[in-house]
Structure 1
Amino acid sequence: MNKNTPAVRKYTGLFSAICGGLLISGTVISQRAVAQQPTSQINPCPSIYYEEPHNNRVLVPQGCPPNALTQKLAAQGMLPPPTAPATPAPSQIPLGVGGEAFGSEPLAVNPCPRIFYEEPHNNQVLVPEGCPPNALTQQLLAQGMTPGQAVPARPPVTAIQPPLPAEQQPPSTKIALANGRVNIRLVNDTGAEVTYEVIGDTPARSLAGKSDTMLRDLTTPVTLTFFREDGGLLQVNLQPSEETQMMEVRLNATTDVMEDKNTVRIQEDGTVFLN
């Protein structure tokens, strides 16, 4: 057949047009399919926030389920009121893979916790600058005194803090003293290293897991503080001895944030408080 005849050229052009249309349609369909594929979303509540040591050291972003540290600070009134729902939206449900949550800001610690406005702090502790005045701050302002003129600057915050005043809670136990002195046997039953300190008597020291130490001839009042180096929680058991001026403080691991304790105080009369 002669390829240059009008009929051949007609069918050749028609075939080319059909093939070109199929190619264009395929390209459009392919582009639409790609456009309709869901885009991956960054998890704003990664699982790393709920794993140790972050579970007890890092505040979760607004809108994420609270971890142990967030629950503890919220219970103490040290976090601002939430501005987002406690449960995340469906698109924010953790995917089971840890990682950075770009665009999510961690919760900020409330600089004006409600404890400043509760007794006895309301009449004994000055609020930080920028907070609403409590009763003590108002009294000083009424006398023409600024808080900075009334008290010296606070010492720098250290890793171990003294407890809150003992009169806020009932005593945990009581021991017999001799001349106002006490011996404490500190037992670390956890597998982690513990840092302890007798405020005003000893520097911060380390106590290895599954070991103990004896703190002798301490003059009351005594404040003993401790915390786990790995950020874990501590359950404390107090065991007064029948022997005069002797008490055992036994530390165990726990996962219950409400049982977590880090301070033992012994008063001049032998009354013991646990915080």
Structure 2
Amino acid sequence: MFNLHSSLRWSALVGSCLGLIVPGAGLAVPSPLNPCPGIYYEEPFNSTRIVPPGCPANAATQRIGASDGAMPSPEAVSPGAPTAPTGSVPVQPPLPETQQPISAIVTPMDGVVTVRLVNATNTVVMYQVLGETQQRMLEASSEATLQRLPLPVNMTFVRPDGGFVTVTPQAGAAGTLDVTLNEAANFDVSRSALNIQNDGSVILN
């Protein structure tokens, strides 16, 4: 009787222990997630997706200049699409300079030129060589010669009556530029300035 009672107590004790231990054995310990899944290094993800931060760079990450977690999060990249480094500003190509065409070419003599002005209008025209002369008056159907003007030369023309003037330059003798002034019908064909550059190129504005 004693042995039977002891056996029952022992069985109850063992059952209690097993009841505490066995359920715990069924709890699986989750394995840590891989921060750098291998799918990022297999096509098509290798060339279309940026790796997560801290992962070795794949083809897509290297193509955009990111390495070793430089990008904060994965993002899609079109294969073969041109990309710029993060934070860069697109560079705009410079616009071509707006410049009037060359109207004539005069051959300078020792860095100076002579300009012969001919007023072919029926009215007075005021002219000035900037930095060299004051504003001067050129009567109708008259002419004036300005000798040894140092290059570059900048001249202006204006009619006191508010009318328009056309300016026609033509190379004359060596080192000489003939400039003829005529009346203009409208503003579109009018010119008010002449520039002789260091190489002898003549430009109207």
**TM-score normalized by the length of structure 1:** 0.39
Give 1:256 deviation, angstroms: 2.6
| 1:94-150 Cα deviation digits (max 9, x unpaired) | xxxxxxxxxxxxxxxxxxxxxxxx968xxxxxxxxxxxxxxxxxxxxxxxxxxxxxx
Distance 1:119 1:190, change over 3 A: farther
- CA distance, structure 1, for counterparts of residue 154 and residue 141 of structure 2: 23
User: CA-atom RMSD, angstroms?
Assistant: 1.8
8 Å contact from structure 2 (residues 100, 204) kept in 1 = no
Partner of 2:162: 231
Please point out which of 108, 115, 125 is paired with 1:177: 108
Show CA shifts across 1:145-194 (max 9, x none): xxxxxxxxxxxxxxxxxxxx9x6222111111111110000111111111
User: Which structure is higher in RCO with an 8 Å CA cutoff and minimum separation 6?
Assistant: 2
User: Does the Cα contact within 8 Å between 2:165 and 2:191 map onto a contact in 1?
Assistant: yes
1:258 counterpart residue number = 188
Aligned to 1:177, what secondary structure does the other structure show? coil
Question: 2:176 is aligned with what amino acid?
Answer: M
Letter in 1 for 2:143: D
- Aligned pairs (5 A) from 1:21-36: none
Question: Which structure: greater strand fraction?
Answer: 2
Q: Which runs of 4+ in 1 moved over 4 A?
A: none
Q: Does 1:202 align with 2:133?
A: yes
For the residues of structure 1 that align with 2:175 and 2:170, how far apart are their CA atoms?
Answer: 12
Aligned residues: 112
Question: Runs of 5+ in structure 1 lacking a partner?
Answer: 1-117, 121-164
Question: Within 2, Cα distance between the matches of 1:270 and 1:239?
Answer: 12
| TM-score normalised by the chain length of structure 2 | 0.52
**Structure with bigger gyration radius:** 2
Identity of aligned residues (%): 38
Cα distance in structure 2, aligned partners of 1:239 and 1:173: 6
Alignment-derived partner of residue 268 in structure 1: 198
Higher helix share: 1
